[in-house]
Structure 1
Amino acid sequence: MIYVGLTGWGDHPDVYSPGSKQKDKLVDYSAHFPIVELDSSFYAVQPERNISKWIRETPDNFQFVVKAYQGMTGHQRGENPFATREEMFEAYRLSVRPLKEAGKLAMVLLQFPPWFDCQKDHVDEIRAIISELQEFDLAIEFRHQSWYADGMKEKTLEFLREHGLIHSVCDEPQAGDGSIPLVPESSRKDKVLLRLHGRNVHGWLNPGNAEKWREVRYLYDYNSKELEEISRAVKRLEQQAEQVYVIFNNNSGGHAAGDAKQFQQLNGLHFEGLSPKQLDLFEGGF
């Protein structure tokens, strides 16, 4: 089964009902897609009230791919609000657990930074993190090319298999060490994740200042030929894993929703159990 969704639900105007308010955006979103990547959990461990609200607002079979908190994966910007490492992990576990209990947690995504290269200390760090989060299905996304270099790709995939980790496959600009190639290989038989970051090489290498980097880094609109290429990779993944989660993250210019819909049409995908609101908004649009 192939599932398609976007990163977040707050920046996709094409999927909102006319006059929709901020509080209604997830309801509108879930009328179009069966999964979403929750990225607010990267910036702050989410309070229980937020998680409970999102569970209530989505259909029974809706799934969340939840990003790990930045302090857990070496991205920390500013001061860590937690006094200890254990306090941080315990807060995160308590935050995510209700999604799992509701049957709405697809996986937790551990995305490591571009400087997190393939070396023993970093492998040990992954082991330490997964020991803290072992109650969840965990996906691993690398951003340093060394994990997929000659002689290392198979070792990386074997490490993921050995520890029961989900491979986060990426389509992204090929821009040196701080990017990884598209490697459509699943490390588990049940789940695999594909994240589509666009192919804006210039923006990837030159994101500008910290406040504007998302506006440039993920500015990309996939064309039909590229979506066909991605479709072939997805079909290969579908042969290896029962569930393929496809997340479009190319939303700097608002292209993610349209590209995701084109991808669905290209692959004849139809999802059951969506929210009933505005189901025909995209019909005839592509």
Structure 2
Amino acid sequence: MADILVGTCSWTDPALMASGWYPAGRRDAEGRLRHYATRFPIVEVDSTYYGMPSRRNSTLWAQRTPPGFRFDVKAFSLLTGHPTRTAALPTDLRQPGDPSRVRADSGLLREVWLRFSSALEPLRTSGRLGALLFQFPPWLAPGPRGEQLVEECTRRAEGWPVAVEFRHPEWWSTERQAATARFLGSRGMAAVAVDTVQGLPASIPPIAAVTTPYLAVVRFHGRSTSWGSTAPGSKEESYRHAYTEAELAPWVSRVREMSRRAGVVHVLFNNCCADASVRAAEAMRNALETDPSCTLRGPGWQRRA
């Protein structure tokens, strides 16, 4: 059975930091990460979606976590076709008179990828890198154009562990899901299974596909009925949710089945509301621990059967 690593999609989310989850004396940048790493074996870095990572931070993250800890790193928005603020680019890549949003071309994308990947080398060489998460925008529909963009992204990341999350529901529709799994699997990309509210136009089906033998990923986004909203200030509402045991229960068997087919399974909670993400992660870990067929990697970095 594969190792199952359970954690959250951020250790620096403002709501989490304000919740009191971090104890006194552990609320500075170093203390937060060191404390988090005593509780969970994996975390997602989401700040790299909004701005380019730095080699210095990657080095510090590796130094502040024990062997066996893993960081899943979210790809910079420009690399996945999302609108990107020009101000998010390194200063020397901006041109005088540039509009507020980046106009990407192949040369700029190549340079951004080189800098992005170089900044993550300390995580990679220290064995702390779990996967690069390529989350594609909700308007990227399945078909030749969508597949071409995905392939371009993954060609740049050749040799890196890549996980792909689609936000357009049709990728995982009943009619399309087998083709999507084949597409990802034939290119060595791990599918990201997602949990969201169901019944909305933007709802993603809870398909737990395993497309590579080395990795499977699940991201829990909460069950907010604001999922998919583009209204001003809607981001927090889209992910605000406190999971119940009943909502997590169906995923225990899905994760167990995924662990039979992949070398490692990453289970990450992205529901922001005070300490809701860490509480949900703890609840999922506890549920998996009661299943004798599951093997979890815990804070002591021992395999816990």
**What is the identity, as a one-letter code, of the residue corresponding to 2:10?**
G
SS in 2 for 1:200: coil
Alpha-carbon distance in structure 2 between the residues aligned to 1:168 and 1:174 = 17
Q: Which residue of 2 aligns with 1:90?
A: 114
- Identify if the C-alpha distance between structure 1 residues 18 and 253 changes in structure 2 by more than 3 Å, giving closer, same or farther: closer
Per-residue CA shift, 1:28-87, capped at 9, x if unaligned? 111100000000111111111111111110011110000000011122232262462211
**What is the identity, as a one-letter code, of the residue corresponding to 2:55?**
E
Give the CA deviation at 1:151.
2.5
Q: Which moved more, 1:261-270 or 1:184-193?
A: 261-270
- Is 1:215–1:253's contact at 8 Å kept on the other side of the alignment? no
Q: TM-score, normalised by structure 1?
A: 0.89
Alpha-carbon distance in structure 2 between the residues aligned to 1:132 and 1:6 = 27
Q: Which residue of 2 aligns with 1:279?
A: none
- Structure 1 gaps, min length 5: 275-286
- Is 1:207–1:217's contact at 8 Å kept on the other side of the alignment? no
Q: Which moved more, 1:225-234 or 1:138-147?
A: 225-234
- Structure 2 gaps, min length 5: 95-107, 290-295
Q: Which residue of 2 aligns with 1:256?
A: 277
Alpha-carbon distance in structure 1 between the residues aligned to 2:190 and 2:216 = 6
Alpha-carbon distance in structure 2 between the residues aligned to 1:120 and 1:176 = 26
SS in 1 for 2:227: helix
- Is 2:242–2:273's contact at 8 Å kept on the other side of the alignment? no
- Of 4, 7, 28 in structure 2, the residue corresponding to residue 5 of structure 1 is 7
- Is 1:166–1:187's contact at 8 Å kept on the other side of the alignment? yes
Give the CA deviation at 1:272.
4.8
Extract structure 1 runs of 4+ deviating beyond 6 A.
none
Taking only aligned residues, the RMSD between alpha carbons, in angstroms, comes to 1.7
Q: Which residue of 2 aligns with 1:215?
A: 236
**What is the identity, as a one-letter code, of the residue corresponding to 2:194?**
C
Give the CA deviation at 1:173.
1.7
- Is 2:189–2:212's contact at 8 Å kept on the other side of the alignment? yes
Percent same amino acid among aligned pairs? Answer: 28
**What is the identity, as a one-letter code, of the residue corresponding to 2:152?**
A
Whether 1:35 aligns to 2:56 is no
- Of 20, 27, 45 in structure 1, the residue corresponding to residue 26 of structure 2 is 20
SS in 2 for 1:195: strand
SS in 1 for 2:38: coil
Give the CA deviation at 1:187.
0.4
